[in-house]
Structure 1
Amino acid sequence: MELRVLWEDEYLANMQHTVIPSWYNRDGYLQSMATLIEKELVKIEKPEEVHIFFSAHGVPVAYVEEAGDPYKAEMEECVQLIMAAVKGRGIRCPHTLAYQSRVGPVEWLKPYTDVTIKELGKRGVKSLLAVPVRRFHYENADLLRGPNNCKGCSFVCEHIETLEEIDMEYRELALESGIKNWGRVPELGCEPGFISDLADAIIEALPYVGAMNVSSLEARQSLVPLGSVEQLLVTYDTLRRGLPAPVAMGEWGWTKSVETWNGRAALVTVVTLLILEVTSGEGVLHQLGILPLFH
């Protein structure tokens, strides 16, 4: 996803916004991953002998070593945190992290997924559970200063890297390498714990809305009054009750209900005045000499 449009489009650049750079270490994400792994393990014969194989999307080494992208360090931490959540459920399996989808002549993060699968086969691993692991990241970009080839990468639904690259290419490679049992954890999709945690992340980031539009790092501060945020948090309670539907406004800035009753009141008033004018011969219209013209 190209994010440079945030700065190139004048309307979007002037919108108050903030960025949640990653969610790799959030508990909702970690527990959701542990749940998916646990569900797939029981489908494999002798789950206690399974080797959990994390395969992350790779990036060029230059992004990490030259541009300072923390992607590699955060992916390694992410896997450790997921495994801690898995072990917390009584599951004891060895694991490995590798990187897939490299293209072009430049060096990408190692170890490579295809090479690692072959090595695991040579080591005698017979059961492999592939886990596509993601961490929302911005490649080669300093979001606080503006666009610089900024790309976001985090697929949480099934796509070509899982359906074709992992399910077909890597599975075939694993079987050729002597691995007998192959399984793959599905992408997060709409896993309830994950979606709920993303909603929490957005709520937590609200006090910083607008900070991205401030040019000076020292000048960045909350541009949303804390009182407004607190009011919103009250509606976003533990029961996850939905916010009320927006009230439709009429042409004059009133709600449809108010405009309806205003119209009825005006109609009754006009009819009442006309009846008074005709029956009594007195009133504003007679005094102005308007009504007698119609006699």
Structure 2
Amino acid sequence: MASHWIVLMFLQSRVGPVEWLKPYTDETIIDLGRKGVKSLLAVPISFVSEHIETLEEIDVEYKELALESGIEKWGRVPALGCEPTFISDLADAVIESLPYVGAMAVSNLEARQSLVPLGSVEELLAAYDSKRRELPPPVTVWEWGWTKSAETWNGRAAMLAVLVLLVLEVTTGQGFLHQWGILPLVR
């Protein structure tokens, strides 16, 4: 049996007097029913947990509207919620972004304090991160001193220098390795 998929994006959450982004979910469901669509699967991409909009609005209200509009099969992909892989990826994303928090500086002290709970990063991680992953150090390219960037470039330069010396040693037969007897002379 061949399947035919149509992917549409439509928006919900329109409340209040201000016009919301379109197309609206309810209007789209009615339109799809008119066009003869018999099966519909909702994928609420912006919701990471089950709440009133998924449990009531999508699962109940939109399902009723779909059935009334002639759509016979209705489903919804569950929110990611507490799925361990999602939580782990979310924690990794937060930890990776911590070195760049200063880039989001807010000039008003009260506004800054409302963005993040007060306390050190280590205290926050102790409270929220059960695995206690190590924080990555901030990375600045071409910074002098004992930094990750400096160590990376120093290591690359050292490897290149050793490679050049080995190539010269093998091709010319002269150098420290031959003088010390580590590499025999090849004639």
Under a length normalisation based on structure 1, what TM-score does the superposition of the two structures give? 0.35
Structure 2 partner of 1:110: 22
Q: Distance in 2 between matches of 1:196 and 1:172?
A: 36
Higher relative contact order (CA 8 A, sep 6+): 1
Structure 2: 5+ residue runs without aligned partners?
108-121, 123-129, 134-187
Can you list the C-alpha shifts for 1:92-142, whole angstroms capped at 9, x where unaligned?
x221111112112221100000000001011111000111111xxxxxxxx
Structure 1 partner of 2:104: 212
Q: Distance in 2 between matches of 1:182 and 1:119?
A: 15
**2:3 corresponds to 1:48:** yes
Partner SS, residue 43 of structure 2: strand
Q: Distance in 2 between matches of 1:213 and 1:131?
A: 35
Q: Distance in 1 between matches of 2:33 and 2:24?
A: 14
Could you tell me how far 1:156 is from its partner in structure 2? 1.7
Partner SS, residue 96 of structure 1: coil
Structure 2 partner of 1:96: 8
Larger strand percent: 1
Structure 2 partner of 1:164: 56
Structural mapping, 1:158-197, within 5 Å = 158-197=50-89
- The Cα RMSD (Å) is 2.7
Letter in 1 for 2:51: H
Structure 2 partner of 1:243: 132
After superposition, the Cα gap between the structure-2 partners of 1:169 and 1:243, relative to the gap in structure 1 and judged at 3 Å, is closer
Can you list the C-alpha shifts for 1:210-232, whole angstroms capped at 9, x where unaligned?
343464xxxxxxxxxxxxxxxx9
Structure 1 partner of 2:117: none
Structure 1: 5+ residue runs without aligned partners?
1-45, 50-92, 135-154, 216-231, 233-240, 245-295
Which of these residues, 90, 95, 99, is aligned with residue 203 of structure 1?
95
Partner SS, residue 182 of structure 1: strand
Q: State, as a whole percentage, how many aligned pairs show the same letter.
A: 71
